[in-house]
Structure 1
């Protein structure tokens, strides 16, 4: 038997004696390759290490060329506004030089203030040599593991960052900062560094330094501040906007108590001092008194300037990669020149319209937000509250508050996109009847404001009278997801994105959005009805220059997007004009001018909107309460709109909206919605020439040439529809289904 035959019966093949030398040779070759690779790896690491070590050693001598004893504190930023001729003129400075800072010597700063700042910002300040290596290593680990910001800065490092203005997020800058901090502490005492820090840091609401903060928040000098007051000031620096007691007193209180706890845990105060300060914290008395020592008369920005500053900060972050803190420092320290888009006259008109409105004045608790822009995207005026503005960066009801828009959402959520897709036209017939299974309990809905239904009505009449079921039916035909895409992708509604499926349900048709929308978003959306269907992102500044005159942000080439066809815009403008002349928007018109608009009141009357436009501008107005409750007067939004738009148009030459060339007027039958034939009750509508309705044949055999026209019906019912009154249905019983029911957050629309 052959050897190969024997092998097939064994568990293992019989090895060939001649193959031993081949296997050993292969093993040696592999070993040599592995050794070579490992050697190259460690050699490469060694070379890289040499370069890194050399680079780091080259930074050992890094210093900042600044004398803490004679600081030239950064640069003043300026805001420019165009005059009547369109030329930019200086409007105000943003706390440049000493206008936002009152220097206070170290001996005049109370020990409580020094200890509070050290306790919360750098508890090992008195022990380290400028760098807290434990915190630095922890921050580096966080950077490598999560990609977050570096952090871990000591008071000395923060001071250097504030003084140099260097804000790029890089390891190189961090290394320079570390060595600069070590070298700075070789030149100056801890006391000198802490003194400078306490006079430079941002303490919110325009305050730079502890003296300005004490003046503003407590109406006293820092040397007279109590432990609790010092802790409140110290707690602001981590996030000057969010922890400013002027903006968010509750958040400041939480931060203040954290500071006090740190002071106690670090044995900087006794238990008795801690308890007394915590007791004072529960009833903190902020006076928000502007410091008179600065000599500045315009330290309080108007609502527009506040918003513009926030926009610049946001754009510095999104376009240039700044952190929020560094962007804010650029505003107040960077010597920027900001060319504002504000219309000073319009801003004054807006403030007067709110201040002098009799409806608002009759209810001191009612709040108001106003946003005004032209059709290029330029924001003309902003008012964020009906209260007198006594500080900076207050909560703004025009840009910050998300409130349910009610029926003012119908034109943009249902009617405009449906007309644009050819689903409906000006006079299409829709049923004003409850929709089966509208609510998640199986009941029909929604109701109208008067709890009555009219059966078949035209789109024009349904929108004019603000009936709810027709809007929902049109929305169903359009498709909830199509509506959601239109709102978020074409009209810039970012407040809906977080709602996801919740904001693509039937309730959206009548304003039942999950979190609410802002007046800014509503105003920007309505511009498409007055400018040929184009959407322009609102902007509050034209451009921004840095200290050297380089343009770093620019809105002058604002790009328009075509949200709807120009023909659709014309048809919608005609439809919404009837809302103002004959429907729920009566009282918002301006004599002699074409005005379009839409009212919006939620089902329990806790929010009231009016959004509309003229050939020159579009304005959005919201009225309501800080804590939502039933409004005692739902007409304030219309009256503020009418007052502001009227004052603004008094300065303009009369002009009309442009009618798209593809749109024509035609007489239609108010019963069938088709083009009128013999014997039809008639009204005039507006249609795309390529998509005209067919002729009505319902009345050809009637003897009368015309029955009561729709205009006559509208006139007789205008008294009951001109004000927004009660709810159409309860929001709490609606469902989050996107196909057959309304949102659980959906507030149905009153009018």
Structure 2
């Protein structure tokens, strides 16, 4: 301090000066302002913080306890005896739920020890854990150390999608705040035990395993309840980083963390020192490696059977019918944890698979190539697609003759595919983007077997050969094929007997006949057998009689009955792209000539209706479906029955079809066990489709043989033999009573009728005795059979010189009038004899006068109108038996004409409705 005079003066001036005082005031004011500003910032910051926090909490999802229950469970398909068939699951839905009481205490303790050691004390947030993680983060410069409780992890998994929707730090921070808030709220509502239960059923444990039960089976091949302490700690080591700590891929890394789990368990006194030492010395990873190797050798990815594929398809449809959307129904199936009780019988299925794949039934196999190629332009990335049809066209052009992508070996097919691919690459300069190469064995097969009393489908074969992919083409349920003569029963004779007052003894004349559009109907055996009963027509599969019968029934009525029998692929009326009107309501319906065809499953259900006494049941693939909580969702144990025909009609059709297998076209299907069997064969034109549909008192089954494409295949009786062998093996395997038959219902009586007219016989009538529905017995007596023999060329009365003739019969129609059955020409021609083939031994005039005065009548009653006829002298009255020209009962001879080859004229009516006569039935 300056004590000089000068210094004293200076000091005095400073004391009285205003400048220092102002400086001090400013400093104080500035300091005050700074404090106020800082305080303001703090207040604003806190307010903003509270506002932001409030905003975050306001945006917190509205969550209740149910939201924490894990979803995504595998659906189980089980046989009716409770044995599991397979499971259905998405990639994240293969968990098997296990309740807390069934979870080992050692497993719970292992997870608590490593993931949340204060779990049983905190209220959802572990404050000590958060502080510890923060301090370690500061010291290490790494804030990856987590402090989430089990409750928070559960919320993160089941509410916030594991944080996968976050793209910024702020979003992650917001989620963390909401997660902690919800953790506190949820622990007020849910017990600790339930939180552990939900958590252990939720977590991902590597190798596609969701939940601890699935993981136990995957890594140790045992149930969760059987795990040791050592094995529990392996699982508890995985969740923090399922890839890094995968015990199969990185066992060393898992072992390091497992050692930490054991130490924490020992520290928390969850295990003893002896248990700790034992677990440390356990060679647990050697066991895991052996199980992993075994699983890889057994190919863990399974391909579902055709039956399972159809269960999935039907389940999807049934869930949608109950109001679920398509997407929700699919979610239910693949992650809803359903339990489906399936109708499939594994023993029957094994028999069916074995027989249809037995090479001894089949010719040398041919392979149809399914090929697709996609090339991509290197610069523009434009793609060009090529199909197997393109490949066939290219080879045809190159070789100069028709090329077909059918091969006897894979090497041959691969070589052609590579040749085509190289040519397309050279032509375009593009690169290969995608190629599909698949060989399908030919001929193919489909088979369906039902219990007709319950509607349950017990076995299903959708194809022959190895099934290599899920949801592949199922020939039993998806292929629409022409049914041929199998349709005669359901389309013609069923409505005839049920609704048209006909019987098995109703007679039709097997004589030349033409569709209404003018095309001729041919029999598979190439000739004509004269008057035959419906029973005989069924037994020998006579085409002309079937068409005549459906004409009387009317195609519309036949169509209506087919709809009642469950057929869904028939066409009422539609216009195709060329403007042609298509309809299945026509005469060719009798022979199975259809626009689209039918499926094996649906024709089996139709035949099962007859076997079930006339009651239709929609095919059932599962009896019950339970949801994840055990509540029944779908109940098919007593499916709806719809009466389509009477018991009497069903029994009569069964009786007639029994004749088919005893001595008719289906004799190859007759059971060698003596079991009563009924059924019907079917072969379409070109031998594209070969069928046998039949049943015994226990089961109804249909078999189809043919190529996927319409290529001729003539197996003869093989279809019947395969059907018979399957059924006989089932009878033996199941120990079925072969003395059981179809009980004759009340209202069936035996009666004798005229075999030419089906009416009650008069004196001299040829007769036949058959079974009848008592309510439909004929009430009129036969007035006598009247015939006329006509020259096939002139359509006039035949002379003895006429080389080819046909005898037509006059029959009573429903109005009690005589009509000439089957004669298509002007009846005025019948007033004169043939003027083309003259009898030179007699005077023409005398012959004409003589023959115009004769009639062939066996009674004195004259028909109206009265024709001029010639009485055949050498022809005995027709019976119900074939002549010596009858063909073999199962196969057409080499002289047989094509059953239903199209004529040169389009089969159209005056309305231009296109029929499908060229697809109609053979034997």
TM-score, reference length from structure 2: 0.50
CA distance in 2, matches of 1:648, 1:739: 50
* Among 758, 773, 782, the residue aligned to 1:673: 758
RMSD between aligned alpha carbons? 4.0
* Mapping 1:7-26, distance limit 5 Å: none
Kindly provide the CA deviation profile for residues 352-390 of structure 1, in whole angstroms up to 9, marking residues without a partner as x: 120126333545521000011011211110001111223
Kindly provide the CA deviation profile for residues 12-56 of structure 1, in whole angstroms up to 9, marking residues without a partner as x: xxxxxxxxxxxxxxxxxxxxxxxxxxxxxxxxxxxxxxxxxxxxx
Kindly provide the CA deviation profile for residues 704-745 of structure 1, in whole angstroms up to 9, marking residues without a partner as x: xx989635x389836254569863222475535499987047
CA distance in 2, matches of 1:547, 1:509: 49
* Among 61, 86, 89, the residue aligned to 2:83: 89
Matched, 1:596 2:678: yes
Aligned to 2:462: 384
CA distance in 1, matches of 2:64, 2:345: 42
* Mapping 1:720-735, distance limit 5 Å: 720-722=889-891, 727-731=898-902, 733=905, 735=907
Shift in alpha-carbon separation, 1:450–1:549, aligned structure 2, 3 A: same
* Secondary structure in structure 2 of the residue aligned to 1:93: strand
Matched, 1:459 2:521: no
* Mapping 1:95-110, distance limit 5 Å: 95=89
Kindly provide the CA deviation profile for residues 653-703 of structure 1, in whole angstroms up to 9, marking residues without a partner as x: 12110212111223444333335566655443110112212555659989x
CA distance in 2, matches of 1:741, 1:506: 12
Shift in alpha-carbon separation, 1:739–1:59, aligned structure 2, 3 A: farther
* Secondary structure in structure 1 of the residue aligned to 2:729: helix
Cα deviation for residue 450 of structure 1 reads 2.5
CA distance in 2, matches of 1:588, 1:747: 24
* Among 320, 323, 347, the residue aligned to 1:320: 323
Shift in alpha-carbon separation, 1:668–1:337, aligned structure 2, 3 A: same
* Secondary structure in structure 2 of the residue aligned to 1:418: helix
- 8 Å CA contact 1:601, 1:749 repeated in 2: yes
Cα deviation for residue 82 of structure 1 reads 2.0
Shift in alpha-carbon separation, 1:413–1:389, aligned structure 2, 3 A: same
CA distance in 2, matches of 1:499, 1:316: 30
CA distance in 2, matches of 1:319, 1:649: 38
- 8 Å CA contact 2:74, 2:87 repeated in 1: yes
Shift in alpha-carbon separation, 1:596–1:472, aligned structure 2, 3 A: same
Aligned to 2:39: none
Shift in alpha-carbon separation, 1:726–1:338, aligned structure 2, 3 A: farther
Kindly provide the CA deviation profile for residues 219-247 of structure 1, in whole angstroms up to 9, marking residues without a partner as x: xxxxxxxxxxxxxxxxxxxxxxxxxxxxx
Matched residue count? 513
CA distance in 2, matches of 1:295, 1:188: 46
Kindly provide the CA deviation profile for residues 462-517 of structure 1, in whole angstroms up to 9, marking residues without a partner as x: 221111121111111111221112111x1111111475551111111110110110
* Mapping 1:417-456, distance limit 5 Å: 417-439=495-517, 443-456=518-531
* Secondary structure in structure 2 of the residue aligned to 1:719: coil
Kindly provide the CA deviation profile for residues 63-98 of structure 1, in whole angstroms up to 9, marking residues without a partner as x: 8999xxx99782121111123xxxx33333235888
Shift in alpha-carbon separation, 1:523–1:187, aligned structure 2, 3 A: farther
Greater Cα radius of gyration, structure 1 or 2: 2
- 8 Å CA contact 2:540, 2:889 repeated in 1: no
Aligned to 2:309: 306
Shift in alpha-carbon separation, 1:298–1:582, aligned structure 2, 3 A: farther
* Mapping 1:50-69, distance limit 5 Å: 60-62=59-61
Aligned to 1:549: 630
Cα deviation for residue 438 of structure 1 reads 3.8
Aligned to 1:78: 76
Shift in alpha-carbon separation, 1:437–1:638, aligned structure 2, 3 A: closer
Aligned to 2:737: 653
Aligned to 2:662: 581
* Among 463, 466, 481, the residue aligned to 1:403: 481
* Secondary structure in structure 2 of the residue aligned to 1:547: coil
- 8 Å CA contact 2:343, 2:456 repeated in 1: yes
- 8 Å CA contact 1:506, 1:742 repeated in 2: no
Where do 5+ consecutive residues of structure 2 fail to align?
Answer: 1-55, 96-156, 175-203, 209-293, 367-441, 575-581, 786-856, 860-875
Aligned to 2:569: 495
Shift in alpha-carbon separation, 1:632–1:656, aligned structure 2, 3 A: closer
CA distance in 2, matches of 1:321, 1:97: 22
Aligned to 1:14: none
* Among 438, 445, 453, the residue aligned to 1:368: 445
Kindly provide the CA deviation profile for residues 507-533 of structure 1, in whole angstroms up to 9, marking residues without a partner as x: 111101101100011100111221211
Shift in alpha-carbon separation, 1:723–1:81, aligned structure 2, 3 A: farther
Shift in alpha-carbon separation, 1:314–1:570, aligned structure 2, 3 A: same
CA distance in 2, matches of 1:351, 1:450: 34
Matched, 1:619 2:704: no
Kindly provide the CA deviation profile for residues 560-609 of structure 1, in whole angstroms up to 9, marking residues without a partner as x: 00011111111111111112112111101113122111111111111111
- 8 Å CA contact 1:583, 1:718 repeated in 2: no
Aligned to 1:717: 886
- 8 Å CA contact 2:624, 2:634 repeated in 1: yes
* Secondary structure in structure 1 of the residue aligned to 2:513: coil
Shift in alpha-carbon separation, 1:539–1:298, aligned structure 2, 3 A: farther
Aligned to 1:477: 552
* Secondary structure in structure 2 of the residue aligned to 1:406: coil
Matched, 1:534 2:615: yes
Kindly provide the CA deviation profile for residues 323-363 of structure 1, in whole angstroms up to 9, marking residues without a partner as x: 1x443332222211000011111111111120126333545
- 8 Å CA contact 2:756, 2:878 repeated in 1: no
CA distance in 1, matches of 2:676, 2:684: 27
- 8 Å CA contact 1:404, 1:607 repeated in 2: yes
CA distance in 1, matches of 2:914, 2:449: 31
CA distance in 2, matches of 1:748, 1:299: 41
* Secondary structure in structure 2 of the residue aligned to 1:351: helix
* Mapping 1:117-128, distance limit 5 Å: none
Aligned to 1:355: 357
- 8 Å CA contact 1:582, 1:715 repeated in 2: no
* Secondary structure in structure 2 of the residue aligned to 1:347: helix
Shift in alpha-carbon separation, 1:497–1:547, aligned structure 2, 3 A: farther
Aligned to 2:749: 664
Aligned to 2:598: 517
- 8 Å CA contact 2:515, 2:521 repeated in 1: no
Aligned to 1:47: none
* Secondary structure in structure 2 of the residue aligned to 1:82: coil
Shift in alpha-carbon separation, 1:357–1:534, aligned structure 2, 3 A: farther
Shift in alpha-carbon separation, 1:739–1:420, aligned structure 2, 3 A: farther
CA distance in 1, matches of 2:520, 2:505: 23
- 8 Å CA contact 1:414, 1:509 repeated in 2: yes
CA distance in 2, matches of 1:570, 1:71: 56
